[in-house]
Amino acid sequence: MRVCVIGAGVVGVTSAYFLARQGHEVVLVDANAHPAEVSSYANGGQLSYSYVAPLAGPGVLPSVPGWLLREDSPLRFRPRLDPHQWRWCLRFALACRASVARESTAQLLALSYLSRDAMHALLQQEDLEFGHLKNGKLIAYRSPALLDKARALVNYQAAHGSDQQVLDAAQTLAREPALAGMGASLAGAIYTPSEEAGDCRQFTQALFDRLRQLPNVQCAMSNPVSGLQREGRRIVAVHSRDGDIGADAVVLATGIGTRALLRPLGHDVPLYPLKGYSLTVPLAADDTVAPRISVTDYERRIVYARVGGVLRIAAMVDIGSANADIDPARIALLKRQVAEAFPALDLGQAIPWAGLRPATPTGKPLIGPSPAANNLWLNIGQGALGFTLACGSAALLTAQMAGLETPLDAAPFRP
Ligand SMILES: Cc1cc2nc3c(=O)[nH]c(=O)nc-3n(C[C@H](O)[C@H](O)[C@H](O)COP(=O)(O)OP(=O)(O)OC[C@H]3O[C@@H](n4cnc5c(N)ncnc54)[C@H](O)[C@@H]3O)c2cc1C
């Protein structure tokens, strides 16, 4: 089968690789000259296989008014005259119900464990350099009450196969001395030894380099797609700047660009851009200031990961930002908060970045056939977890496309 995959972010490149390895002829198309130039560029680097609870959870709605009033809030909401924004927010509010959040967490955990196994199998086959570390993760809490609540989630996740431990402040510092800067404000942490990290862009680029060497793969970069031509129930052509591309099947892995291609076909998806920021801090080879274990500062919603020779710091959810422009005020706030937690860290050379998480209200990606055409497939909406979920999403997609038994129940992720 000849498959056209549109989108060379982490999700599209991984999908194209899995399809090519299944023996399909693959055409990978992207508007940019290089892979991972959009949301996959400088993300938090966390392969957060065990900690996948979606943003929508029972604790979120009561916190929102406080977040909206505080200048140093991790979440910023800009209401817009945009029905799509309001529909998305309403569905997000409904997804915050405890029963829905519990179910979504369990479904995401199943997908993330599939992803971990698929990533490990991939790395057995391909020697990819992307600063990959199996260094574990600490979710650090300032509030003892929130740490107690997290204990309940740990117990719940344990029932689904997660190995996590609750640490008090002294145990946390013994595991990660770099957290000493948090001082007396540190209540403790959840430690997950199995978590991993790496550079998402380097991973995507390295996999792309392998992909383009395969004889059954053609990469058409710098080639924006303007639309899909449907005849009857089939997509018969992909209209791209360099000409029409014919294929037996088309996969949209177009992240936040997906609605523009789908809506003309009468299919809308609940995908909304949640803007976030990152800092990339170069580290000396003998650095002892940055954490060695990946850290999440829970109350501030800031994640830290050592990837290669840098510390990647990512944070914030801005709802209603129309583009991925860097807001200097948000970067200045992030730097202040990082300096409070890690006072000895030199942020002088920190490189700022902003990106849009392609998010669904439930946090669950949409993986499977689009109702718009019989040969149109989606792999979108990985939100805050695109790097973590990429390999599992590709495995789930390609099994469905091949008509094989799926490695997990595909229904919760059906578009
Ligand atoms: C601040 C921040 C921190 C994050 N931290 C983490 C983390 O620690 N761990 C994690 O797992 N995830 C993290 N994420 C989420 C992760 O980065 C995303 O989920 C992931 O990058 C989405 O990948 P994607 O391939 O779907 O989209 P993208 O990377 O955006 O790729 C989509 C591609 O489609 C192309 N495209 C779109 N429309 C068209 C068109 N019409 N024609 C041609 N090409 C088109 C684009 O050019 C782009 O290359 C973070 C995100 C942000 C913003």
**Tokens 């290669």 map to which residue?**
308
- Long-range Cβ contacts of 284-291 (<8 Å, 24+ apart): 285/309, 288/178, 289/178, 289/342, 289/344, 289/345, 289/346, 290/178, 290/342, 290/345, 291/138, 291/176, 291/178, 291/179, 291/342
Helix (H, G, I), strand (E, B) or coil at 341: helix
Beta carbons within 10 angstroms of residue 150's beta carbon: 20
**Count of alpha carbons within 13 angstroms of residue 20, beta-carbon side:** 23
Give the C-alpha separation, 372 to 232, whole Å: 10
Give the C-alpha separation, 174 to 14, whole Å: 37
Q: What is the pLDDT of residue 72?
A: 84
User: Contact 225/6 with Cβ under 8 angstroms?
Assistant: yes
Give the C-alpha separation, 110 to 50, whole Å: 10
Distance of CA 115 from the midpoint of ligand 1 (Å): 17
**Tokens 């978590």 map to which residue?**
195
Beta carbons within 10 angstroms of residue 155's beta carbon: 12
Give the C-alpha separation, 197 to 172, whole Å: 19
Describe the strand order of the beta sheet including 376-380 as a list of residue ranges: 217-220, 25-29, 2-6, 249-252, 376-380, 366-369
Report the DSSP beta bridge partners of residue 295.
138, 304
Q: What is the pLDDT of residue 289?
A: 95
| Dihedral sign from CA coordinates of 27, 33, 37, 39 | negative
Distances (CA, A) of 233 to 27, 248, 373, 377: 21, 12, 5, 13
What lies within 8 Å, CB to CB, of 124 at 6+ separation is none
Residue of 267, 262, 264, 263 lying closest to 251 (CA atoms): 262
Pocket around ligand 1: residues whose beta carbon is below 6 Å from it? 6-12, 29-32, 37-40, 43-46, 48, 200, 224-225, 253-255, 257, 261, 276-278, 303, 314, 355, 357-358, 382-388
**Count of alpha carbons within 13 angstroms of residue 229, beta-carbon side:** 10
Beta carbons within 10 angstroms of residue 187's beta carbon: 21
Q: What is the pLDDT of residue 68?
A: 77
Distances (CA, A) of 171 to 147, 157, 166, 282, 291: 14, 21, 9, 28, 15
Strands (E), 342-401: 351-359, 366-369, 376-380
Cα 325–Cα 330–Cα 348 angle in degrees, nearest 5: 95
2, with CB counted inside 10 A (0-12, 13-18, 19+), is middle
Q: What is the pLDDT of residue 189?
A: 97
Distance of CA 10 from the midpoint of ligand 1 (Å): 7
CATH architecture of the domain with range 64-96+132-196+272-359: 2-Layer Sandwich (3.30)
Atom 12 in ligand 1: which residue has the minimum CA distance? Answer: 385
Q: What is the pLDDT of residue 155?
A: 81
Model pTM? 0.97
Note the CATH number of domain 2-40+202-270+363-413.
3.50.50.60
Atom 9 in ligand 1: which residue has the minimum CA distance? Answer: 46
Tokens read off for 307: 């990837």
**Substitution candidate for ligand 1 out of 387, 391, 393, 397 with most atoms within 8 A of CB:** 387
Which atom belonging to ligand 1 lies closest to the Cα atom of 389? 11
**Substitution candidate for ligand 1 out of 10, 39, 303 with most atoms within 8 A of CB:** 39
Beta carbons within 10 angstroms of residue 144's beta carbon: 12
The parts of the chain modelled with pLDDT lower than 70 are 160
2-40+202-270+363-413 matches 64-96+132-196+272-359 in fold: no
**Substitution candidate for ligand 1 out of 30, 116, 274 with most atoms within 8 A of CB:** 30
Q: What are the structural domain ranges in the chain?
A: 2-40+202-270+363-413, 64-96+132-196+272-359
Beta carbons within 10 angstroms of residue 71's beta carbon: 7
Distance of CA 67 from the midpoint of ligand 1 (Å): 26
Q: What is the pLDDT of residue 187?
A: 97
